[in-house]
Structure 1
């Protein structure tokens, strides 16, 4: 591969690192052609972009976009594939589902929701990760809950009692 070709690959990877907020580094070695095709199909269906990369070129792309975390660079050994995604937990769910029929892919590391996860043992945590939007929705629901309870009480029989108490207090003041 010439220097110009390497530069094009590095620029392409850097562009994808900037386009997609989350990425997973996985080992898909030893998957046969049929399994690899099935994995690629599942990735396409889940809106996950799967790319096989050379470790040195990916390291340079990480450095270019200033995401070269020491833990991420450390796992770049042996065959490496990158799963780019807009939804943080999509690749984790995909890997977990795919491993019901195969030992691979093995998670090396992930960059999700601004955090670095290293090792295959982090797969379950990544499956349960919530997006920023999901967390905001949970907080809004929690904040609305007490207000809904008060409104419900006011609309029900308790509300009639409260209204009666207010009328009684008003009549005493007059």
Structure 2
């Protein structure tokens, strides 16, 4: 690969890193052509962008995107080894993990393997994070949960006031009937 081509790949990765809030680095080495085609189709169905790139190009793109702290040094040394493909998503951070789990179950495979992920800047390293990542809630789900938590005390207060109003009205009515 010529230098110009490498720079174009890095620019493309930098653009995707800035466009998408989440990415997963996976290892799909060992899949047959048919399995890779099924995997790519599954990515398209789930609105995921999949790209294979050299580890050094991924690292340069991450560094250009601002990933230079100690956490990313661990990410670079543990994740960017061997074959690497990147899944990008702009939807829920759990979408690639759910798609990976479904693909592995449907195809009865052990590949592709999750090497690492970045969900809005938080890093997850290792295949053991797949279950945790697949249960992450989306931003909309979290906002809904917070609204429900905020609504519950108010609902309880309103229910108490409304039930007390009926009891109070009943007591006033009983007292007024007793004195008439």
Q: TM-score normalised to the size of structure 2?
A: 0.86
1:73 aligns with 2:79: no
* Distance in 2 (alpha carbons) for counterparts of 1:94 and 1:109: 15
* Distance in 2 (alpha carbons) for counterparts of 1:130 and 1:80: 26
Choose which of 89, 94, 101 in structure 2 pairs with 1:96.
Answer: 101
How far does the alpha carbon of each residue in 1:56-108 deviate from its partner, in whole angstroms, 9 at most, with x for none? 11110001001251122111111100000012000100111111121111000
Secondary structure of the corresponding residue to residue 111 of structure 2: coil
* Inter-CA distance 64–166: structure 2 relative to 1 (3 Å threshold): farther
1:133 aligns with 2:140: yes
Q: TM-score normalised to the size of structure 1?
A: 0.88
How far does the alpha carbon of each residue in 1:107-159 deviate from its partner, in whole angstroms, 9 at most, with x for none? 00000132100000000110111223322211110110122233334444x43
* Distance in 2 (alpha carbons) for counterparts of 1:144 and 1:7: 52
Secondary structure of the corresponding residue to residue 136 of structure 1: helix
* Distance in 2 (alpha carbons) for counterparts of 1:167 and 1:13: 75
Choose which of 109, 121, 144 in structure 2 pairs with 1:114.
Answer: 121
Aligned-residue CA RMSD (Å):
1.9
Structure 1 contact 113–131 (Cα < 8 Å) conserved: no
* Distance in 2 (alpha carbons) for counterparts of 1:92 and 1:52: 17
Alignment of 1:1-174 (within 5 A): 1-68=1-68, 69-74=72-77, 75-86=79-90, 87-100=92-105, 101-156=108-163, 158-163=164-169
Moved more, 112-121 or 68-77: 68-77
Secondary structure of the corresponding residue to residue 80 of structure 2: coil
Q: Which segments of 5 or more consecutive residues in structure 1 lack a partner in the other structure?
A: 169-174
* Inter-CA distance 36–164: structure 2 relative to 1 (3 Å threshold): same
* Inter-CA distance 146–166: structure 2 relative to 1 (3 Å threshold): farther
Q: How many residues align?
A: 167
| Aligned equivalent of 1:171 | none
Q: Which segments of 5 or more consecutive residues in structure 2 lack a partner in the other structure?
A: 175-180
Deviation at 1:164, TM superposition (A): 5.2
Deviation at 1:23, TM superposition (A): 0.1
